[in-house]
Amino acid sequence: MYNLGIVTIVIIAANVIMSFKGFDDRLFFEKYKFNVGSIIRGEQIRMISSGFLHADTTHLLMNMITLYFFAGTVINQLGNFNFIIIYMASLVFGNLLSLYFHKEEYWYSAIGASGAVTGILYAAILLEPSMSLYMFFIPIPIPGYVFGIGYLLYSIYGIKNRVGNIGHDAHFGGAVGGYALTLLLMPSLFKTDLGHVGLLAIPIIILFVMYKTGKLR
Protein backbone atom coordinates (compact mmCIF):
# COMPACT_ATOMS: atom_id res chain seq x y z
CA MET A 1 0.00 0.00 0.00
CA TYR A 2 1.41 3.38 -0.96
CA ASN A 3 0.63 4.91 2.44
CA LEU A 4 2.80 2.40 4.26
CA GLY A 5 6.23 3.52 3.06
CA ILE A 6 9.37 2.90 5.06
CA VAL A 7 9.26 6.34 6.72
CA THR A 8 5.68 5.81 7.90
CA ILE A 9 6.58 2.36 9.21
CA VAL A 10 9.56 3.73 11.16
CA ILE A 11 7.49 6.51 12.75
CA ILE A 12 4.67 4.14 13.66
CA ALA A 13 7.17 1.64 15.07
CA ALA A 14 8.84 4.36 17.17
CA ASN A 15 5.46 5.38 18.57
CA VAL A 16 4.52 1.77 19.36
CA ILE A 17 7.85 0.95 21.02
CA MET A 18 7.96 4.13 23.12
CA SER A 19 4.29 3.91 24.07
CA PHE A 20 4.42 0.26 25.16
CA LYS A 21 7.59 0.99 27.13
CA GLY A 22 5.66 3.77 28.85
CA PHE A 23 2.69 1.48 29.53
CA ASP A 24 4.96 -0.95 31.40
CA ASP A 25 7.43 1.46 32.99
CA ARG A 26 5.88 4.34 34.92
CA LEU A 27 9.24 5.94 35.69
CA PHE A 28 10.06 6.02 31.97
CA PHE A 29 6.63 7.53 31.24
CA GLU A 30 7.04 10.24 33.88
CA LYS A 31 10.59 11.04 32.75
CA TYR A 32 9.68 11.67 29.11
CA LYS A 33 6.13 13.04 29.14
CA PHE A 34 5.43 16.73 28.42
CA ASN A 35 5.49 18.61 31.71
CA VAL A 36 5.67 22.40 31.90
CA GLY A 37 7.70 22.59 35.12
CA SER A 38 10.27 20.06 33.95
CA ILE A 39 10.68 21.73 30.54
CA ILE A 40 11.14 25.16 32.10
CA ARG A 41 13.84 23.61 34.33
CA GLY A 42 15.73 22.56 31.20
CA GLU A 43 14.42 19.13 30.20
CA GLN A 44 13.71 20.10 26.59
CA ILE A 45 13.93 16.47 25.45
CA ARG A 46 10.34 16.17 26.67
CA MET A 47 9.26 18.45 23.79
CA ILE A 48 10.09 15.55 21.47
CA SER A 49 9.81 12.42 23.59
CA SER A 50 6.28 13.21 24.78
CA GLY A 51 5.10 12.93 21.18
CA PHE A 52 5.96 9.23 21.15
CA LEU A 53 4.13 8.35 24.37
CA HIS A 54 0.41 7.58 24.64
CA ALA A 55 -2.11 7.15 27.42
CA ASP A 56 -3.31 3.73 26.26
CA THR A 57 -3.64 1.51 23.18
CA THR A 58 -6.79 3.30 21.99
CA HIS A 59 -5.01 6.67 22.07
CA LEU A 60 -2.05 5.16 20.20
CA LEU A 61 -4.26 3.41 17.65
CA MET A 62 -6.29 6.52 16.85
CA ASN A 63 -3.18 8.58 16.15
CA MET A 64 -1.45 5.91 14.09
CA ILE A 65 -4.55 5.19 11.98
CA THR A 66 -4.89 8.89 11.21
CA LEU A 67 -1.20 9.07 10.32
CA TYR A 68 -1.54 6.02 8.07
CA PHE A 69 -4.40 7.52 6.06
CA PHE A 70 -2.79 10.92 5.43
CA ALA A 71 0.95 10.19 5.30
CA GLY A 72 0.82 8.98 1.70
CA THR A 73 -0.51 12.27 0.36
CA VAL A 74 2.31 14.24 1.93
CA ILE A 75 5.03 11.73 1.00
CA ASN A 76 3.84 11.43 -2.60
CA GLN A 77 3.91 15.18 -3.16
CA LEU A 78 6.77 16.35 -0.96
CA GLY A 79 8.96 13.27 -0.48
CA ASN A 80 10.11 11.30 2.55
CA PHE A 81 12.59 13.85 3.90
CA ASN A 82 10.10 16.71 3.82
CA PHE A 83 7.48 14.45 5.40
CA ILE A 84 9.81 13.88 8.36
CA ILE A 85 10.47 17.63 8.61
CA ILE A 86 6.74 18.37 8.71
CA TYR A 87 6.05 15.59 11.22
CA MET A 88 8.78 16.63 13.65
CA ALA A 89 8.22 20.37 13.22
CA SER A 90 4.49 19.95 13.82
CA LEU A 91 5.25 17.98 16.98
CA VAL A 92 7.46 20.81 18.24
CA PHE A 93 5.01 23.55 17.12
CA GLY A 94 2.21 21.81 18.97
CA ASN A 95 4.20 21.50 22.17
CA LEU A 96 5.46 25.08 21.91
CA LEU A 97 1.92 26.42 21.70
CA SER A 98 0.88 24.19 24.58
CA LEU A 99 3.87 25.39 26.61
CA TYR A 100 2.98 29.00 25.85
CA PHE A 101 -0.66 28.67 26.88
CA HIS A 102 0.20 26.72 30.05
CA LYS A 103 3.47 28.42 31.03
CA GLU A 104 2.12 29.37 34.45
CA GLU A 105 0.80 25.86 35.15
CA TYR A 106 3.94 24.01 36.20
CA TRP A 107 1.94 20.85 36.87
CA TYR A 108 0.46 20.68 33.37
CA SER A 109 1.36 17.45 31.56
CA ALA A 110 0.50 15.91 28.19
CA ILE A 111 1.46 13.04 25.90
CA GLY A 112 0.68 11.84 22.40
CA ALA A 113 1.54 12.23 18.73
CA SER A 114 -1.60 14.27 18.06
CA GLY A 115 0.28 17.52 17.32
CA ALA A 116 2.54 15.83 14.78
CA VAL A 117 -0.32 13.84 13.25
CA THR A 118 -2.54 16.92 13.01
CA GLY A 119 0.31 18.67 11.20
CA ILE A 120 0.42 15.85 8.64
CA LEU A 121 -3.38 15.93 8.36
CA TYR A 122 -3.42 19.68 7.72
CA ALA A 123 -0.52 19.39 5.26
CA ALA A 124 -2.40 16.68 3.34
CA ILE A 125 -5.54 18.82 3.25
CA LEU A 126 -3.54 21.80 2.00
CA LEU A 127 -2.02 19.66 -0.75
CA GLU A 128 -5.37 18.09 -1.69
CA PRO A 129 -8.08 20.39 -0.31
CA SER A 130 -10.89 18.70 -2.21
CA MET A 131 -10.15 15.20 -0.85
CA SER A 132 -13.29 13.52 0.47
CA LEU A 133 -13.39 12.67 4.16
CA TYR A 134 -16.06 10.61 5.87
CA MET A 135 -17.10 11.05 9.49
CA PHE A 136 -18.88 8.39 11.53
CA PHE A 137 -21.88 10.61 12.26
CA ILE A 138 -22.16 12.23 8.79
CA PRO A 139 -23.24 9.89 5.95
CA ILE A 140 -21.93 12.12 3.14
CA PRO A 141 -18.32 12.96 2.18
CA ILE A 142 -16.88 16.24 3.46
CA PRO A 143 -14.31 18.21 1.41
CA GLY A 144 -10.97 18.14 3.18
CA TYR A 145 -10.68 21.90 3.53
CA VAL A 146 -14.12 22.10 5.19
CA PHE A 147 -13.08 19.43 7.67
CA GLY A 148 -9.76 21.20 8.33
CA ILE A 149 -11.38 24.55 9.02
CA GLY A 150 -14.08 22.97 11.19
CA TYR A 151 -11.54 20.95 13.16
CA LEU A 152 -9.43 23.99 14.00
CA LEU A 153 -12.48 26.06 14.91
CA TYR A 154 -13.45 23.29 17.32
CA SER A 155 -9.87 23.31 18.65
CA ILE A 156 -10.22 27.04 19.38
CA TYR A 157 -13.44 26.30 21.25
CA GLY A 158 -11.63 23.52 23.12
CA ILE A 159 -8.71 25.80 24.03
CA LYS A 160 -11.00 28.57 25.29
CA ASN A 161 -13.30 26.28 27.28
CA ARG A 162 -10.78 23.56 28.18
CA VAL A 163 -13.05 20.89 26.78
CA GLY A 164 -12.21 17.34 27.87
CA ASN A 165 -8.83 15.87 28.72
CA ILE A 166 -7.51 16.79 25.27
CA GLY A 167 -4.53 18.92 24.22
CA HIS A 168 -6.45 21.19 21.86
CA ASP A 169 -3.62 23.71 21.84
CA ALA A 170 -1.12 21.03 20.76
CA HIS A 171 -3.49 19.98 17.96
CA PHE A 172 -3.82 23.57 16.81
CA GLY A 173 -0.08 24.24 17.01
CA GLY A 174 0.62 21.07 15.07
CA ALA A 175 -1.81 22.13 12.34
CA VAL A 176 -0.11 25.53 12.12
CA GLY A 177 3.24 23.77 11.78
CA GLY A 178 1.93 21.53 9.00
CA TYR A 179 0.34 24.47 7.22
CA ALA A 180 3.41 26.74 7.42
CA LEU A 181 5.96 24.07 6.51
CA THR A 182 3.91 22.85 3.55
CA LEU A 183 3.69 26.38 2.14
CA LEU A 184 7.40 26.88 2.74
CA LEU A 185 8.23 23.63 0.94
CA MET A 186 5.72 24.17 -1.86
CA PRO A 187 5.27 27.94 -2.33
CA SER A 188 3.67 27.30 -5.73
CA LEU A 189 0.42 26.69 -3.79
CA PHE A 190 0.12 30.47 -3.44
CA LYS A 191 -0.28 30.60 -7.22
CA THR A 192 -2.14 27.39 -7.94
CA ASP A 193 -4.54 27.27 -4.99
CA LEU A 194 -4.55 30.64 -3.23
CA GLY A 195 -8.25 30.33 -2.38
CA HIS A 196 -7.83 27.23 -0.25
CA VAL A 197 -4.59 28.57 1.24
CA GLY A 198 -6.56 31.59 2.41
CA LEU A 199 -9.54 29.59 3.68
CA LEU A 200 -7.34 27.24 5.70
CA ALA A 201 -5.65 30.27 7.30
CA ILE A 202 -8.96 31.58 8.71
CA PRO A 203 -8.88 29.61 12.01
CA ILE A 204 -5.23 30.61 12.54
CA ILE A 205 -6.14 34.28 12.13
CA ILE A 206 -9.14 33.88 14.43
CA LEU A 207 -6.99 32.35 17.20
CA PHE A 208 -4.45 35.15 16.86
CA VAL A 209 -7.13 37.85 17.04
CA MET A 210 -8.85 36.18 20.01
CA TYR A 211 -5.57 35.97 21.88
CA LYS A 212 -4.63 39.59 21.13
CA THR A 213 -8.04 40.81 22.28
CA GLY A 214 -7.85 38.78 25.47
CA LYS A 215 -10.71 36.43 24.60
CA LEU A 216 -8.60 33.33 25.27
CA ARG A 217 -7.35 34.41 28.70
pLDDT for the residue 201: 93
Q: Which residues contact 105 (CB under 8 A, 6 or more apart)?
A: 36
pLDDT surpasses 70 at 138: no
pLDDT for the residue 135: 64
143: three-class secondary structure by DSSP:
strand
pLDDT surpasses 50 at 173: yes
Task: Tell me the mean pLDDT in the region 5-14.
Answer: 93
Inter-CA distances, 126 with 16, 66, 133, Å: 28, 16, 14
pLDDT digits (tens, 9 = 90+) for 54-77: 989 999 998 999 899 899 999 999
Q: Cα 87 to chain center, whole Å?
A: 8
Task: Report the distance separating Cα 124 and Cα 71, nearest Å.
Answer: 8
pLDDT surpasses 70 at 140: yes
pLDDT for the residue 4: 64
Confidence of residue 212 (pLDDT cuts 50, 70, 90): confident
Confidence of residue 164 (pLDDT cuts 50, 70, 90): low
Task: Tell me the mean pLDDT in the region 188-207.
Answer: 92
Go through the domains of the chain in sequence order and give each one's CATH number.
Answer: 6-212 (1.20.1540.10)
First to last CA, the chain: 45
pLDDT for the residue 1: 40
pLDDT for the residue 33: 95
pLDDT surpasses 60 at 3: no
Confidence of residue 92 (pLDDT cuts 50, 70, 90): very high
Mean pLDDT of the residues in the chain: 89
Please give the residue that has the higher pLDDT: either 114 or 130. 114
- The amino acid sitting at 60 is L
Confidence of residue 2 (pLDDT cuts 50, 70, 90): very low
pLDDT for the residue 143: 85
Cβ-based burial of 183 (10 A; exposed 0-12, middle 13-18, buried ≥19):
middle
pTM: 0.90
- Helix locations, the chain, DSSP H: 6-24, 26-32, 36-40, 46-49, 57-78, 80-101, 114-127, 144-161, 168-185, 189-192, 194-212
